Each structure stands twice: as C-alpha cells, then as structure tokens.
Amino acid sequence: MQIEDKIYYLRVIIAAIAGSILGIIIKPNSDQSNTIGLTILIGIISYAISQIIATRIATGVPKDKKKKIITIAIFGYIFMLFTFMILIYTVLNQNII
C-alpha cells in the first residue's frame, strides 16, 4: 500500500471517530450556533491530529509529494465526519421523532 493510501484511510477513520463523538455529544434541543461551532472545532482539531500523524508517516517522501499530504482525502474527511455525526445522532435520538 502506498503512503497516499495509508494517509487517506487514516483520515477517513479519524473522521469517522470524530463524527461518532459529535453524534454522541450533540443533544436534541441544543442551540444551532453551538452545534455548528462545536462541529467546526472538533473537525479542525481532529484534522490537525491526522495531519500530525500523516507527516510522521510520510518521512522520506520527496518534497513535491509532501505538499500534497495536506490535501489528501479532505473531501472524504468532511463527508465521513458529517455522515457519522448524522448517523450516530439519529440512532441515539430516534425515540424523539
């Protein structure tokens, strides 16, 4: 498996974990501005953690590929974060509907 593939799957897994945490933390009657702020904050923190891990994985990579490490799987990260956040939130709060 290439380094880019490892970083991709790393970011997708970290996004799934962060989305699950958000789905558990967010309560049904919470303020929308607090929810958006919390989602952005957790998303940025977990992406920063994935970036730190990715740079440690990518030691010995040529300089032109190191610039690409920052943007690998950014859309997959956002998609998985929101998907798991909505999925966990819905499963935990389905009795309200």
Q: Cβ distance 10 to 50 under 8 Å?
A: yes
Q: How far apart are CA 87 and CA 90, in angstroms?
A: 5
C-beta of residue 95 within 8 angstroms of C-beta of residue 87: no
pLDDT higher than threshold 80 for residue 96: no
| Residue pair 46/25 in contact by the 8 Å Cβ criterion | no
**Which among 66, 14, 72, 13 has a CA at the least distance from the CA of 43?**
14
Per residue in 71-86, pLDDT (tens digit) is 888 898 999 999 999 9
Domain count, the chain: 1
Q: Which domain holds residue 13?
A: 3-96
Residue 67, pLDDT > 80, answer no
- pLDDT at residue 62, as a whole number: 79
Q: Provide the 10 A C-beta neighbour count for residue 34.
A: 11
The two three-digit tokens of residue 11, written as one number: 């970011």
pLDDT at 55: 87
Dump pLDDT digits (tens) for 13-53: 999 999 999 999 988 888 888 889 999 999 999 999 999 99
